[in-house]
Amino acid sequence: MKSSGPSKSVKASETPSSASKVGEFAFGKENYRLMLIGLVFILVGFLLMIGGGSTDPNQFNPEMFSFRRITLAPILILAGYVVEIFAIMKKPKD
């Protein structure tokens, strides 16, 4: 079988414009800023959970079940994880 036309070969130096450039970061400046904000939310949430225990095991401390430890801290931690996922998924601006 004969080929009817000239064969087209792709040169190695020809790369598509959408290809990632060597030396470029995967995330942009805004992505890293959002990741830092998410980490701060997570850290503050865990810090808000600290404490509330009792030094005496026979003494009950109701402060362990405060609004701050049971509700606010977990909400901050979940919000931090949502911000982290958003920061990873967001496309960096060119």
pLDDT tier, 56 (very low <50, low <70, confident <90, very high otherwise): confident
Find how far residue 44's CA is from the centre of its chain.
Answer: 16
Q: What is the pLDDT of residues 27-54, one digit of tens each?
A: 889 999 999 999 999 999 999 999 877 7
Q: What is the pLDDT of residues 70-90, one digit of tens each?
A: 999 999 999 999 999 999 999
